[in-house]
Structure 1
Amino acid sequence: MPAALRRLLALGALAAATLAAPAAAQAQATVSVENQTRPTRCAEEDNVSLLLRGSITRLRVEALQPAYIEQIAQDTTAPDFSGCNFDGGDHPTDPKFTFTPRTVTLHEDAEWRIVGMTLPVFWRPQQVPVQVDSRRDRGFHMIQVYRRIDGAMKEALVMYPSDGYWRIKPLPLARFADGVYGSSLLLGPVREEGRPVVAIRDIRIRTQPAIRFDLRFTGGGSARIALAEVSRTRTALDVRFARAVPASRPFSVLRSMYVAPDNADISEVQWRTAGPDGAVHTEPLADFQRAAGVAEVSFGRSTPSRHNTSAPDIRYSAFGR
């Protein structure tokens, strides 16, 4: 074989290996999950904290109908303060900052509505700038996203600019007037400020060709969070960080409620380890402590809850670098 041809083949093999390496690394990207849940008797308190860490720059988060959704005859969505030391007002341990309340429609078309809401009282003073397409505003405590289904707008997502929380849920099944949120989650460099938060410098929301949130974090770094699907099956977010969150901090924390297996927004953890023959593990939330080498993890319920019955399961997957 001529030397020139041998060199050409060698270069081709090297190029193929170089191209294959990132794909293999992405396929094997894994995270760790740590349980910092504490007991409570209050069904309206976020006592569940599940911390996800890993050197990743992309992931998918989905809110899925609970496994028992077809068994639900009557969806129980009313709040339950029977075991709480507060009655639906401000949490007694929270700081209180006052604001002029307002509700603003930031975008509306035939399919979508985006609403900004400022509450009269909130636990953090931050007023984060928000831009929706070319419209600029600031100071919202909630940004709500609705999608039209069967002629009506139904809420599928709410995010909180001042503390970085997100809540997502599938669109409700036809026999329900609406679904109910359950767990909430943080996406970005999480830090502790009385509770876990993500500090956001500013938010830009684009509505075309699809809705996405571009976030810049106060301590540096950014994320692009796109609505990949909003349907009766799931609401899915595709998340991309400009750079990996340092391993010293979680890149996400799932916050939820657990009193008992039949009174919980999540009561079980199921995860799959990496590799073509990755093992699947399931543990009750009360027993789960930590898992490493996780390629996919779901937080859900197999026993119907007597509170927030239709609250969705939450699944993290597609971790990559």
Structure 2
Amino acid sequence: MTTLRFSALAAIIATVHAFALDAVRSASAAPVLVEVRNFTTPTQCTEEDNVSFVMNSPAIQRFRVEALHPPYLSKVRGLRFPPADFSNCDFDENTPRTDPGRRFEPRKVRIYDGPDFAIEGNTYETFWRSQSVPVAVWGSVYDEFHLLQFYVKHRQAGELRETQVLVLYPPDGYWRAKPLPATQTGMNSYGSSFLIGPITEADRPVVEIADIDIDPKERTIRLRFIAGGEASVRLIEVSRQRTALDVKFRPSYRPSNVFAAGGMPGFAMLRSMYVAEDNADISRVEWRDAAGRAHHTSVADTAALKARSVRFGRVVPSRHNPDAPDIRFDAFDGPP
């Protein structure tokens, strides 16, 4: 494992107080402790996902993922930030390679359109992976979607708006989530990505999904993994405070068994970007230990930890996506 070490950043971060973490957690009498390991590598390119935190527990059966506004957001609202610095990026090198042998017919399909919820499937002309994952919605099956976009319909500034709050890339298993904008007239960006399920390496970490089945009424996305096992991902809250996903693995799913075939041990991964404290999608790790005590450290100084709740975010406004959300993994639970 490679862990970043930057003494100057450590000195800065040591002066910053910890995030205020929610006490919201699973009702389990003995919460599951999860091992979190840092596989981050250095970069100077703001478009490279160099941050990788893997979560592992052989007992895990359920957990929650939340996208939350960074705690500094109200203080920087309305400020102008300089554009992100791409001067150290080689996009041909840092962008995942497309499959030159596959071409697709570009399309955007509204696969569900309800009174308060909508889903769109997108196919690009090329994509870095050629896998086609069947997506079923109430019996209708679609192939070759590279991106699924989930929208909520809500009132904003007196008008009915449609806001995207969640995306999933079926060919590689990457998710992104964000809460509704913090203000009636605001907008916000996606930032960090996360993976759910058996993680394997294919030029970068991925989750191989065999098929997807969506129940729009219940806002539930069922994933069946090629490596074995299933997960049910339910969108349980979308608000101006958070977007929350409740994840349940099927009883037959055991991360320690699934990964024995050569994958990376873990049931979830946080993927993000860190160049410097003021140029990152996440720069700080906050967690609660078995006794509920809060801890905090920088991405640069984190190696491994055991937590019943862990939040990846920022306390210093970033020049890159300053309004992108923090991501918290919480409510870890085992078999009933």
Q: Tell me if TM exceeds 0.5.
A: yes
The residue number in structure 1 matching 2:63 is 59
The answer on whether the counterparts of 1:200 and 1:215 sit within 8 Å (CA) in structure 2 is yes
The residue number in structure 2 matching 1:152 is 161
Pairing partner for 1:171 from 174, 180, 202? 180
Q: Which runs of 5+ in 2 are unaligned?
A: 1-25, 260-264
The answer on whether the counterparts of 2:99 and 2:126 sit within 8 Å (CA) in structure 1 is no
The answer on whether the counterparts of 2:96 and 2:128 sit within 8 Å (CA) in structure 1 is no
Deviations 1:74-109 (A, max 9, x none): 47596642220128x982655444211110000011
Q: Give me the TM-score of the superposition, normalised by structure 1.
A: 0.86
Instruction: Determine whether 1:183 maps to 2:192.
Output: yes
Q: Give me the TM-score of the superposition, normalised by structure 2.
A: 0.83
The residue number in structure 1 matching 2:48 is 45
Instruction: Determine whether 1:236 maps to 2:244.
Output: yes
Counterpart of 1:106 in structure 2: which amino acid?
A: I
The answer on whether the counterparts of 1:75 and 1:310 sit within 8 Å (CA) in structure 2 is no
The answer on whether the counterparts of 2:47 and 2:94 sit within 8 Å (CA) in structure 1 is no
What is the CA–CA distance in structure 1 between the aligned matches of 2:225 and 2:82, rounded to whole Å? 34
Partner of 2:308: helix, strand, or coil?
strand
| 1:290, distance to aligned residue in structure 2 (A) | 0.6
The answer on whether the counterparts of 2:168 and 2:174 sit within 8 Å (CA) in structure 1 is yes
What is the CA–CA distance in structure 2 between the aligned matches of 1:199 and 1:77, rounded to whole Å? 38
| 1:25, distance to aligned residue in structure 2 (A) | 6.7
Counterpart of 1:126 in structure 2: which amino acid?
A: Q
Pairing partner for 1:143 from 125, 145, 148? 148
Deviations 1:23-50 (A, max 9, x none): 9976331101111111111111101001
Pairing partner for 2:305 from 291, 316, 321? 291
| Percentage of pairs with the same residue | 46
| 1:157, distance to aligned residue in structure 2 (A) | 0.3
Counterpart of 1:86 in structure 2: which amino acid?
A: F
Partner of 1:307: helix, strand, or coil?
coil
Query: CA RMSD for the aligned pairs?
Result: 2.1
Partner of 1:282: helix, strand, or coil?
strand
Counterpart of 1:223 in structure 2: which amino acid?
A: A
Distance 1:109 1:74, change over 3 A: farther
What is the CA–CA distance in structure 2 between the aligned matches of 1:120 and 1:63, rounded to whole Å? 30
Distance 1:314 1:137, change over 3 A: same
What is the CA–CA distance in structure 2 between the aligned matches of 1:156 and 1:270, rounded to whole Å? 24
The residue number in structure 1 matching 2:290 is 274
More divergent stretch after superposition (176-185 vs 72-81): 72-81
The residue number in structure 1 matching 2:319 is 306
The answer on whether the counterparts of 1:59 and 1:320 sit within 8 Å (CA) in structure 2 is yes
Q: Which runs of 5+ in 1 are unaligned?
A: 1-22
**Bigger radius of gyration among the two:** 1
Deviations 1:171-226 (A, max 9, x none): 11235542100000000011111111110000000012x20101111121000000
The answer on whether the counterparts of 2:37 and 2:55 sit within 8 Å (CA) in structure 1 is yes
| 1:244, distance to aligned residue in structure 2 (A) | 2.9
